[in-house]
Amino acid sequence: MNRNRLFFVFLFALSTVFLSSAYAAQSPSEGQGIAYYRAGFPLVAKPLLISEIESTPTTLAETCFTLGNIYFTDNQLDSAAYYFNKGLAANPTNSLNSVGLTMLKIKSTPAVAEQEFKKLLQLKQNKKNIDIYLAIANAYLFNGSLDNAVVYQESAKSIKTKYALVYVVLGDIEFAKKDIGEACKNYEQAIYFDDKCKEAYIKYARAYKSVKPDLAIEKLNILKSKAPDFLLADREMADVYYAKNTISDYKKAAELYANYLTSGNSNVMDLTKYAFTLFLSGDFAKSLEVSNLGLVKAKRNPVFNRLAMYNNVELTKVASTQNNKEEAKKKNVEALKSAYLFFNQTDKPEFTFLDYRYYGQAFRDEDSIDLALPQYAKALELDSSRTDLWKDISDMNAKKGDYKKAILAYNKYFNPLSDEAKTNDIYMQYGRLCYNAGVADTSLSVINKNAVLQKADSLFKIVASKEADNYRGNYWRAKTNAVLDPNVETDVAKSLFDITTSVVEAKADPRYNSVLIECYRYSGIYYVQRNDNATAIKFFNKMLAIEPNNAFAKNALQAIATDIKNAKDKSTKAVAKPKK
């Protein structure tokens, strides 16, 4: 199941509200927020850090500094300043929060910020404090000033060469430069000096997630072996499998997300990823279950409402395929209900092509074509490149009997296709649409009816020329020309039925008996029209050999027998009539 990747990024980005302890399986341990932030999980760390302000006063300064960094990277500068000031008040001798406050000035007054950093480093407790140098390096990195970040990272390295975080920061700088190879080289170096440096493993995996996913998975498996209880590694690995974009990888990702959810630190984003990977892997029932679980706690969440609609539509299709009409109807009702909630009772949804596509399908499953068509139109407004939808629109208009709109829509689907994409099946679909229009659309004039049938014939002819061993192209050409020649005045349809008969008889397959009966039927009529009753009788008898109770063949033979008898009686009377 291929999906729009940008849309999925958007979908997950919507989920910014945390469920906190709603899915908790355990209580956070002391200082866990700082540890998660250092490991590269600020969104997980944030609610824990807020709770630790009261629960862990001994690390208040560092907790506030960490929160300040999170708010800074979220561009919430007032909140960042609040926590930096709070941390500085809690421990004035800890310079980390002073670094944070100065970080806020880098873009507006870079010279002032530089002087303040230098003054901080002149303090006795900071001259050889490697963490302060790295904090300043990060301050410049967060502001996009990579050259200054390198200066302070190198100064930190000069204090302690074998310090893992020195190389983590350098890896971050290289990653910001988009040099993934150099970034991962430095993350590897950090692991070499500290094989328990979770942040290095995580950042290595993230860097290689899209370009070398197998290396990312390998590195995360190493981390899992060293820290089995660190379930965020499962979540990170799930992200990698998700990015690989195959059904089997989606299934693996879903298993890993499920395992991570037992950690007690899951949030809406995690739950939506889990629900969505289940959806992408085809486990619609489980995805719906997880989505409904999310809706219990966040009923206006657009992601869960969206997934509820998608899953119910897919489950309607599954039930229909299984010919379970009652279940299909039930799921269709749920799909329309979910669609209403999604479009009318969710928080700030940004509607996408797929939203309207699924909404339209829900109406289509209900046979509410007049309600479905506007949704498909809205989908195309959002993504006009998805010309495949014109095929669905064509099918729906044909079902309504509006063949003019159906053909116009099919043209919009057909014309943009490359020659390679125009398969024989597509030519057949187009041809049968034109054939049905010529046969069923009573509003067409004779001229227009003949024109659309001739279009059908030209499309079937293309298929026939490409499929010498297949009967369908010539068979449908024969049917089409039979309609064009209702009085059987030409040999065109007959010759095409003969070709069809030859191909189908060679198959000796009962599945094609209905085709043979139609061929024999037309041939019989053809010979009756030409007063060749003997040959006509042969074809009608062939029909009865396949289908002994075929009413048309029986009636035709009876009519021929009657005509022969009447002709014979007339002849006899003519001979017996006395001469005057």
pLDDT at residue 579, as a whole number? 56
Indicate whether 389 pLDDT > 90.
yes
**The residue type at 204:** Y
Cα(350)–Cα(11) distance, integer angstroms = 9
pLDDT > 70: what percent of the chain?
A: 93
pLDDT band at 246 (very low <50, low <70, confident <90, very high): confident
190 vs 1, higher pLDDT: 190
- Is residue 544 a contact partner of residue 507, using CB atoms and an 8 Å limit? no
Answer whether residue 572 shows pLDDT above 80.
Answer: no
Element spanning 42, H or E: helix 42-55
Query: Is 295 a domain residue?
Result: no
- Distance (Å, whole) CA 361 – CA 392: 9
Q: How far apart are CA 494 and CA 518, in angstroms?
A: 11
Q: Per-residue pLDDT averaged across 73-99, rounded?
A: 95
130 within 8 A of 138, measured Cβ to Cβ: no
* 398 has a pLDDT exceeding 50: yes
Region of 31 please: left (phi>0), alpha (psi -120 to 50) or beta: left
In a domain, 497, yes or no: no
Identify the pLDDT of residue 574: 66
Q: Please give the backbone phi and psi of residue 579, each rounded to the nearest 5 degrees, phi first.
A: -85, 145
pLDDT above 50 for 29: no
Cα–Cα distance list, 439 to 314, 446, 487, 494 (Å): 34, 11, 15, 19
Chain segment 189-201, per-residue pLDDT in tens? 999 999 999 999 9
Pairwise CA distance, residues 504 & 469, whole Å: 9
Task: Write down the pLDDT at residue 569.
Answer: 73
Residue 28 DSSP one-character state? P
Measured CA to CA in angstroms, residue 62 lies from 50, 82, 128, 153, 162 at distances of 12, 14, 19, 20, 23
Burial 78-102 (b: 16+ CB within 10 A, else e): eebbebbebbbebbeebbbbbbbbb
- Contacts for 385 with CB less than 8 Å, ≥ 6 apart: none
The pLDDT, as a whole number, for residue 10 is: 40
- The answer to whether the beta carbons of residues 539 and 501 sit under 8 Å apart is no
Q: How many domains does the chain have?
A: 1
pLDDT tens for 250-259 read 999 999 998 8
Q: Provide the domain limits for residue 529.
A: 509-580
Task: State the average pLDDT over residues 422-440.
Answer: 97
Residue 5: count other Cβ atoms within 10 Å of its Cβ.
10
Q: In degrees, to the nearest 5, what angle opens at C-alpha 22 toward C-alphas 20 and 27?
A: 70
In a domain, residue 318? The reply is no
How large is the average pLDDT for residues 183-211? 95
Report residue 460's pLDDT band, with 50, 70 and 90 as the boundaries: very high
* Residues 6+ positions from 278 with CB-CB distance below 8 Å: 250, 254, 284, 286, 287, 290
Using the predicted structure, report yes or no on whether residue 22 has a pLDDT greater than 70. Answer: no
pTM of the model: 0.74
CB atoms within 10 A of CB 388: 11
- Residue type for position 215: L
Q: Give me Rg for the CA atoms of the chain.
A: 37
Q: How confident is the model at residue 580 (pLDDT cuts 50, 70, 90)?
A: low
Count of positions (residues) in the chain: 580
Q: What is the pLDDT of residues 138-153, one digit of tens each?
A: 999 999 999 999 999 9
Kindly state whether residue 480 falls inside one of the protein's structural domains.
no
The residue with greater pLDDT, 434 or 3, is: 434
| Residue 260 confidence (pLDDT) | 87
Q: Are 227 and 236 in contact (CB under 8 A)?
A: no
515 part of a folded domain: yes
Contact (Cβ atoms closer than 8 angstroms) between residue 312 and residue 331? yes
**pLDDT value for 578:** 60
- Measured at the CA of 512, the angle between CA 507 and CA 517, to 5 degrees, comes to 115
Where do runs of H (alpha helix) occur along 366-490?
Answer: 369-382, 389-400, 403-414, 424-440, 446-466, 472-484
Distance, CA of 446 to CA of 426 (rounded, Å)? 27
pLDDT in tens, 38-79: 888 898 899 999 999 988 888 999 999 999 999 999 999 999
Alpha-carbon distance of 459 to 480, in angstroms, equals 11
Residue range 191-219: mean pLDDT, rounded:
95
Amino acid at 395: D
Residue 526 within a domain: yes
Scan for tokens 């057949």, then name that residue: 428
The confidence score (pLDDT) of residue 262 equals 82
Question: Does residue 483 lie within any of the structural domains?
Answer: no
Among 319-323, 497-501, 576-580, the range scoring the smallest mean pLDDT is 576-580
Question: What is the torsional sign of CA 379, 381, 383, 385?
Answer: positive
Give a yes or no: residue 199 inside a domain.
no
What is the C-alpha to C-alpha distance for residues 44 and 62, in angstroms, rounded to an integer? 17
| pLDDT of the residue at 444 | 87
Reading the block at residue 152, the tokens are: 């302070």
Confidence band, pLDDT 50/70/90 cuts, at residue 397? very high
> Residue by residue, what is the 3-state secondary structure of 327-340?
HHHHHHHHHHHHHH
Residues 166/160, Cβ–Cβ less than 8 Å? yes
Query: Which range (86-100, 477-491, 515-529, 558-572) has the least confidence?
Result: 558-572
Q: What is the mean pLDDT of residues 309-321?
A: 97
Pairwise CA distance, residues 200 & 40, whole Å: 9
- Nearest CA-CA partner of 263 in 14, 62, 40, 32: 32
Asked whether the predicted pLDDT for residue 184 surpasses 70, the reply is yes
**Percent of the chain having pLDDT more than 90?**
79
Of the candidates 74, 130, 120, 123, the one whose C-alpha atom is nearest the C-alpha of residue 97 is 120
Q: Tokens 């890896």 sit at which residue?
A: 171
